Amino acid sequence: MKVLVTGGGGFLGRAIVERCVLREGWDVRAASRSRYPELEALGVESVTCDLGDAQAVRAAVRGCELVIHTAALTGVWGARADFVRTNVLGTRHVLAACRAEGIARLVYTSSPSVCFDGTDHHRAQNDLPYAARFLCAYPETKAIAEREVLEANGSELATCALRPHLVFGPRDPHLVPRLLDRARKGRLAIVGSGDNEVSLTFVENAAAAHTDAARALVPGAPHAGQAYFIGQEEPVQLWRWINGLLETTGHRPVRRRLPARVAYGAGGLLEFCWKHLKLDGEPPLTRFVAAQLASSHSYDLEPARRDFGYTERVDLATATARTVDALQAAARA
The answer to whether residue 212 is domain-embedded is yes
What does the pLDDT read at residue 180? Answer: 85
- Tell me the CA distances in angstroms from 311 to 163, 222, 322, one per residue in order: 15, 16, 19
d(CA 108, CA 257): 37
The answer to whether residue 267 is domain-embedded is no
The answer to whether residue 254 is domain-embedded is no
d(CA 306, CA 29): 30
The answer to whether residue 190 is domain-embedded is no
pLDDT tens digits for range 71-82 = 999 999 999 999
d(CA 262, CA 99): 48
What does the pLDDT read at residue 142? Answer: 98
d(CA 135, CA 129): 16
Residues 6+ apart with CB under 8 A from 14: 8, 36, 38, 39, 171
| Phi and psi torsions of 40, nearest 5° | -60, -30
Low-confidence ranges of the chain (pLDDT < 50): none
The answer to whether residue 10 is domain-embedded is yes
The answer to whether residue 285 is domain-embedded is no
Find the CATH number of the domain harbouring 48. 3.40.50.720
Three-state DSSP at 53 gives coil
Torsional sign, CA 81, 273, 238, 173? positive
Give the active site residue among 36, 108, 138, 310. Answer: 138
Number of domains observed in the structure of the chain: 1
108 catalytic? Reply is no
The answer to whether residue 79 is domain-embedded is yes
What does the pLDDT read at residue 259? Answer: 94
d(CA 270, CA 88): 27
What does the pLDDT read at residue 194? Answer: 86
Pairing of strands 197-198, 236-237: antiparallel
Q: Check if the beta carbon of residue 323 is closer than 8 Å to that of residue 147.
A: no
d(CA 238, CA 259): 16
d(CA 242, CA 210): 27
Domain that holds residue 40: 2-167+203-231+299-311
Q: Tell me the whole-structure pTM to 2 decimals.
A: 0.95
The answer to whether residue 95 is domain-embedded is yes
What does the pLDDT read at residue 76? Answer: 92
What does the pLDDT read at residue 186? Answer: 84
What does the pLDDT read at residue 333? Answer: 65
* DSSP secondary structure letters along 132-181: SS-SSHHHHHHHHHHHHHHHT-SSS-EEEEEEE-SEESTT-SSHHHHHHH
d(CA 10, CA 31): 10
What does the pLDDT read at residue 202? Answer: 97
Torsional sign, CA 180, 186, 187, 191? positive
Three-state DSSP at 246 gives helix
d(CA 26, CA 24): 5
Beta bridge partner(s), residue 164: 230
